[in-house]
A and B are shown apart, each in its own frame.
Chain A
Amino acid sequence: MSEPLTLDQVRHVAKLARLALPPEQLEVFTGQLGSILGYVEQLRQADVAGVEPLAHAIKLTNVLRDDEPTPALPVAQVLQNAPATDGPFFKVPAVMGADEDSAG
């Protein structure tokens, strides 16, 4: 965790995050993200022996309700912001493409 961030790592993270970034931006981000990660390194110095991780500061429990149908948004409203539609469907290019990611 303490080795400096490399351009290859940043390229991989961009791919995982589904961000198609040009090479020059990857280079700028390598420096900037490296400095941010360098700063958060200090968390390792905290004495957390025996401490349970805290996801929410306020005590919360799961809230259950009866499984009763309620009115949902009409299809026209669901689709009103969609960039491309085909009848009652969202329109997308091939899901199973040439990229190895698509299969996994």
Chain B
Amino acid sequence: MLEVINLDKCFSSGGMMKKKYIKVVDRISFQIGRGETFGLVGESGCGKTTAGKSTLRLIEPTSGKIVFDGIDVTKLKTKEMRKLRPRMQMIFQDPDASLDPRMKTERSIAEPLRLRGGLSKREIEERVMELIETVGLNPEHAHRYPYQMSGGQNQRVVLARALASNPDFIVADEPTSGLDVSVQAQILKLMNELKRDLNLTTMFITHDLEVVKHMSDRMAVMYRGKILEMGETENIFNCARHPYAQLLIEPQPSEDLGVQDAESENRNGDRPGCVFYPRCPFAEKNCMEKEPEMIKMNRDHQVLCHLV
């Protein structure tokens, strides 16, 4: 369904004279099969959100190739891209910010239908009410503004709005991290049901391992713009091979990995070698000097580490 090859995204900062480039996403490749949920896990600043947005070309990737349903998305012109957009939707972290504060629920949900055109006013109204029901809201919510509803209800509106454009592929970026636990469960359950009923392909971006374990079929662990390990979710939770993935998954890490140092170290110095080297308890000389290659463990389990 979706294939991403060597996706790169750099941001530049600083003035005209002294431009600094920061690599946020560094040559990542992955595939997502039809109807599959692909989890992308990492800590803040690892580039997972940028990876998600670049995949949809909501921000332009610096280089790389994205093939969606046989179409090379990176080659499309602005106009063609706009035609394709309804098929790929993004759900953002903060539901309250993802809705125009000046639009009532019904108008927000109707917007994608209007943009697509070809539907009468009646048909739009009917479809909006249908969607409101699909995502578990009441008809009375149709006339409310985002600030009159809770975060969980707004996230349902966001979902309905995304569904209104009949997407095949959804990128969900931490869709529940701002919500209460009991509401998170409601939303995730709803997403699972929708995925099953509509055969949606999903890329689920999160920092929460428990959530990704529950939601995704396959997953990738990102660190400093790179995918360090990728494979079936079950496989990774059972036998993570990369030291960083182990650190994330292991509830009580046996060794003190010097978190502070890693955290305060700045990322724009281009060092050779493995990105995780400064924090890695098993690092060898080789790790500092040479950048590791993706190694295939088995059919669908890859690790970016010299030591496996």
**A and B interact:** no
Interface residue ranges, A against B (CB under 8 Å): none
Interface residue ranges, B against A (CB under 8 Å): none
